[in-house]
Structure 1
Amino acid sequence: MTKTVKIDLFTDTVCPWCLVGAERLDQAIARLPEGVEVVVENHPFYLDPNTPDEGVVVADMLREKYGRDPREMWARVESEAKSTGIELDLSQQPRSFPTRKGHTLVRLAKDKGTQHALSNAIAWAYFMDHQLINDDEVLADIAVEHGFTRDEALAAVRNPAELQITHELAVSAAQQGIQGVPFFIFDNRFAVSGCQPAEVFDRALDLAVHPEKPVNA
């Protein structure tokens, strides 16, 4: 008998910790025994809801916000990424952009069964391939690999009504108390916040598969 686990995952596609956290989750899922099916539903979140359309220089933004050399902060993320199998170099993607369009495609990909893969692909395109993921054509290129026609993808990212739905969901996530991402909710029973070590995801999935076990044991 197959056991199904539902994970609600809140991320932003310009969040490097989300890139690493999603990969660690996927690796933990791959380690599960046969007979367990995991359904991941992705939800939008804005790392910075005030990012202008033209984007911001990440190094300048971090320096102004935290008063530190951004390379110090990048080094930690890059080290964690490398330990997960991702050769991340944050200096290669200097600008951060609004993510409403990408989130809209991910939201609409739910009915296609490609939502989580598409979210990962957009983040990978940004961080690893250094693409401009606020560009309609770039997003369409990615979306056609995940169940969309090109016209369908372009129509989605240019539809004010669809973009507004996504915006409201992202704002709602913050209003509900999610203060940072990645944020994982397992079977509506318990949550894991942040890019945790691999063993935390293994433990969380074990608890989800065996609900008789106490969460705080």
Structure 2
Amino acid sequence: MKIDVFSDIVCPWCFIGTERLARALDSLGMASTARVEHHAFMLRSDTPRTGNNLHEELRAKYGVDPQAMFERVESAARESGISLELSRQPLTYPTQWAHTLLRHAGPKGTQKALARALFGAYFLEGRNIADPVELRRLAIAHGFSDEEATRLLEDPREYELTQRESDEAHQRGIRGVPFFVFNERFAVSGAQPESVFREAIQRAVTG
């Protein structure tokens, strides 16, 4: 079983969707056998490294306090075992460096764990996931040497490859994330209930 996951680290529904997928795989006894591959899909690659205040942007766009919008996301997160409080993280950051590390974590076998760590650092701990110090810390905890992580984060060619991967996802017709492809046959869009993921997995297995 191969599952391709298209997501962005600053997307709360991506965090929820990947957790629901993990729970679905676990319930089917496939957590250790399914090959889950994360792919870059950058929602806003032009965000400055210092971050933008997403809460203020939403307030200016809709003219209301975004808390009601946040409560819906937080409620869905709690249903999936995530203690999400979006007030912990008012800023959104560019994610090209995080996605670059994720791409290189694949061959190391630490990609899934690193993705979860990045989501946790950003949403649960309120950390800046565009900060090289923070990124190196997370990378070292997931199979990278400090030298390797530093090289990847400072190499503009790596950013170009990551940008290309994100662009290719858009060119494939993916318009929103999270987006999941099962055995290159069935696709599920959005952070669907675990039952939907289980059904997709079973369909992909049986053909």
TM-score (norm 1): 0.91
**CA 1:162–1:35 in structure 2 vs 1: closer, same or farther (change >3 Å)?**
closer
Q: Tell whether the 8 Å contact from 1:36 to 1:209 is kept in structure 2 after alignment.
A: no
Identify which range, 90-99 or 62-71, moves more after superposition: 62-71
**How big is the alpha-carbon RMSD for the aligned residues of Structure 1 and Structure 2?**
1.5
Aligned match for 2:206, one of 207, 210, 215: 210
Q: Which residue of 2 aligns with 1:71?
A: 67
Q: Distance in 2 between matches of 1:172 and 1:64?
A: 32
Aligned match for 2:131, one of 130, 135, 158: 135
Q: Percent identity?
A: 46
Corresponding residue pairs, total:
207
For residue 205 of structure 1, report the CA deviation from its aligned partner. 1.0
SS of the counterpart of 1:111? coil
Question: What stretches of structure 1 move > 6 A for 4+ residues in a row?
Answer: none
Q: Which residue of 2 aligns with 1:43?
A: 39
Q: Which residue of 2 aligns with 1:13?
A: 9
Matched, 1:196 2:199: no
For residue 168 of structure 1, report the CA deviation from its aligned partner. 1.2
Q: Which residue of 1 aligns with 2:162?
A: 166
SS of the counterpart of 1:37? coil
Q: Which residue of 2 aligns with 1:120?
A: 116
Give the counterpart letter for 1:30 in structure 2.
Answer: D
Write the deviation string for residues 51-84 of structure 1: whole angstroms up to 9, x where unpaired.
Answer: 2222110112223344443112111110000011
For residue 90 of structure 1, report the CA deviation from its aligned partner. 0.2
For residue 30 of structure 1, report the CA deviation from its aligned partner. 0.7
Q: Which residue of 1 aligns with 2:98?
A: 102
Gaps of 5+ in 2: none
Aligned match for 2:178, one of 176, 182, 199: 182
TM-score (norm 2): 0.95
**CA 1:210–1:156 in structure 2 vs 1: closer, same or farther (change >3 Å)?**
same
Give the counterpart letter for 1:191 in structure 2.
Answer: A
Give the counterpart letter for 2:150 in structure 1.
Answer: L
Identify which range, 41-50 or 97-106, moves more after superposition: 41-50
